[in-house]
DNA sequence: GCAAATACCTATACATCCTAGGAAAGCAGG
DNA sequence: CCTGCTTTCCTAGGATGTATAGGTATTTGC
């Protein structure tokens, strides 16, 4: 009997495609095995268990997302970079809903720390925000707001939460205009606080 | 043998609590039955199946969330109302992660249309935004942006995406300050479009 | 107190996750 | 070619979960 030629990588890639097709929460080892024409048990030589498989998809997706964003922002700055970042983010999430959902799983901090993909995402966000000349803690606050908005937007859009009364693309563009304005005119801290500065790498995580 | 006194409502409420404890995606009919000291099959008289159970939790949670928000914004307007809305939203999501996750499931449009809870949420959002005197399509765009930000923020926060380098509460408050400013100074449409007006009830759904 | 409604049961079929241990395909070196 | 090792994939089977069919026992309404 001809072998299927399984490896951890191939299994992970197939799992990512399955996730895009049926939803990240609906992937099963059984279905994945069927797609290879192989028994369930055979996959356990390449992947520890279902959770491990999910983590692998998460790392794969984080890397792909970082690649797309990096390519989009290359050579741009200011509002152009912000919009390119946002569009790349949204396009990836909509084109690969299962993979995108994978990027939102809570990873073991040890795994996370060893993931260059996640570090790159943080750096890209930081680099994009540099143009707005914010200083801590505003930088952290603005980064969190921006990231929340991007994530919330694509999640709601993909989940059908927006309906069809107005083109989502148009709303998105206006939203980005508004966010750019917001970042350019970030309000001064009314309480006059200046504490809690975090290191450059700490905007999003850690 | 003494009966457990099951009803659809009690089962749903227990399921909601289970969801808060173990996560919305991890609820099982078996675990729910165990919590009542009853066999799995017994629950199927009160709930059609697992998906039906999830929908019931979703409707329950949407109603609770609308209640909290309504209570919070009562008697307030302008920025006060917006902040009260946002805080109530965030507090509910953090206090009841499983129920909150349930509010994000894609519901059958027929079920949705018949849910007063969802209609109330839409109305509350619309009422809160009225103070900013936006006209369509800006109203829809701003509503989508706001809702995305709230949702994204609490999702990332609950998922541990923010880490501990700066108090999330402080970031949240600064974010709300910024959003208020944004709503007060919503940018004019650069393209001069004016089309796509949606009816009052259509900001968020339909 | 009797009949109808219904709350809860047993039994069963099937899907999925995962482990243990075995067979067979591919790959060395002779 | 053949011998032995590694790796790939297998069968077998236990545990847990979803769901249906059909039966028994408890309540409830008259």
Q: What is the pLDDT of residues B99-113, one digit of tens each?
A: 999 999 999 999 999
Interface of A with B in 54-93 (CB under 8 A): none
A77 touches strand C (CB under 7 A): no
> Of A75-84, B153-162, B197-206, where does mean pLDDT reach its minimum?
B197-206
- Quick check: is A101 in a domain? yes
Task: Read off the CATH number of the domain in which B124 is found.
Answer: 1.10.357.10
- Quick check: is A196 in a domain? no
- Quick check: is B178 in a domain? yes
Residues 6 or more apart whose Cβ sits within 8 Å of residue A113: none
Q: What is the pLDDT of residue A187?
A: 87
Q: In angstroms, what CA-CA distances link A76 with A82, A83, A152, A186?
A: 9, 10, 25, 22
Which of B167, B171, B205 minimises the CB distance to A161?
B205
- Quick check: is B130 in a domain? yes
Distance CA A190, CA A187 (A): 8
By C1' distance from the Cα of A42, the closest nucleotide is D9
- Quick check: is A169 in a domain? yes
Q: What is the pLDDT of residue A189?
A: 75
Give the pLDDT band (50/70/90) at residue B193: low
Average pLDDT over residues B137-161: 94
pLDDT at A205 over 60: no
Hey, what are A13's tokens? 């890639």
Given an 8 Å threshold on Cβ–Cβ distance, is A163 in contact with B196?
Answer: no
Question: In this complex, which residue's CA is closest to the C1' atom of nucleotide D20?
Answer: B41
Distance CA A17, CA A11 (A): 10
> Of A10-19, A112-121, A161-170, A187-196, where does mean pLDDT reach its minimum?
A187-196
**Percentage above 70 pLDDT, chain A:** 91
Over chain A, what is the mean pLDDT?
90
Distance (Å) from the alpha carbon of A177 to chain B's nearest alpha carbon: 7
Q: What is the pLDDT of residue B197?
A: 42
> What long-range pairs does A82-86 form, CB within 8 A, spacing at least 24?
A82/A128, A82/A131, A82/A176, A82/A179, A82/A180, A82/A183, A83/A176, A83/A180, A85/A124, A85/A125, A85/A128, A86/A150, A86/A172, A86/A176, A86/A179
> Of A3-12, A163-172, B51-60, B188-197, where does mean pLDDT reach its minimum?
B188-197
Given an 8 Å threshold on Cβ–Cβ distance, is A171 in contact with B25?
Answer: no
Please count the structural domains in chain B.
1
Given an 8 Å threshold on Cβ–Cβ distance, is A187 in contact with B196?
Answer: no
Q: What is the pLDDT of residue B165?
A: 67
Q: What pLDDT digit, counting tens, does each position of A108-144 carry?
A: 989 999 999 999 999 999 999 999 999 888 999 999 9
| Cβ burial A52-74 (10 Å sphere, 16+ → b, else e) | ebbbbbbbbbbbbbbebbbebbe
Q: What is the pLDDT of residue B43?
A: 97
> Of A153-162, B73-82, B134-143, B182-191, where does mean pLDDT reach its minimum?
B182-191
CA of A15 to C1' of D8 (A): 19
Q: What pLDDT digit, counting tens, does each position of A40-95 carry?
A: 999 999 999 999 999 999 999 999 999 999 999 999 999 999 999 999 999 999 99
- Quick check: is A85 in a domain? yes
pLDDT at B204 over 50: no
Interface of B with A in 109-138 (CB under 8 A): 137-138
Residue of chain B whose Cα is closest to the Cα of A191: B174
Residue B195 φ/ψ region, left for φ over 0, alpha for ψ in the -120 to 50 degree band, beta for the rest: beta
Which structural domain, as residue segments, surrounds residue B106? 59-184
- Quick check: is A140 in a domain? yes
Q: What is the pLDDT of residue B2?
A: 67
Cα-to-chain-centroid distance, residue A32: 23
By C1' distance from the Cα of A38, the closest nucleotide is D9
Interface of B with A in 145-164 (CB under 8 A): 145, 147-153, 155-156, 159-164
pLDDT at B4 over 80: no
- Quick check: is B190 in a domain? no
Average pLDDT over residues A5-27: 96
A166 interaction partners in chain B (CB closer than 8 Å)? 137, 140-141, 196, 198
Over chain B, what is the mean pLDDT?
90
Give the pLDDT band (50/70/90) at residue B1: low
């Amino acid at each position: 009997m001809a072998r299927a030629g399984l490896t951890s990588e191939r299994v992970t890639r197939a799992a990512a495609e399955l996730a895009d097709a049926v939803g990240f929460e609906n992937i099963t080892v059984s279905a994945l095995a069927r797609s290879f024409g192989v028994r369930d048990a055979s996959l356990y030589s390449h992947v520890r268990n279902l959770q491990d498989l999910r983590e692998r998809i998460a790392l794969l997706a984080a890397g792909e997302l970082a690649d797309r964003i990096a390519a989009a922002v290359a050579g741009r700055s200011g509002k152009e970079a912000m919009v390119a970042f946002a569009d790349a983010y949204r396009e990836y999430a909509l084109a690969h809903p299962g993979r995108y959902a994978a990027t939102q799983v809570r990873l073991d901090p040890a795994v996370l720390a060893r993931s260059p993909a996640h570090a790159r995402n943080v750096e890209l966000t930081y680099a994009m925000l540099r143009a707005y000349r914010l200083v801590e803690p505003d930088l952290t606050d603005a980064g969190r707001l921006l990231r929340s908005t991007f994530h919330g937007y694509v999640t709601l859009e993909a989940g059908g939460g927006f309906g069809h009364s107005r083109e989502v693309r148009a709303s998105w563009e206006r939203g980005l205009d508004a966010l750019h304005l917001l970042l350019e005119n970030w309000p001064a801290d009314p309480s006059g606080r200046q504490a809690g500065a975090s290191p450059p790498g700490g905007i999003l995580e850690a």
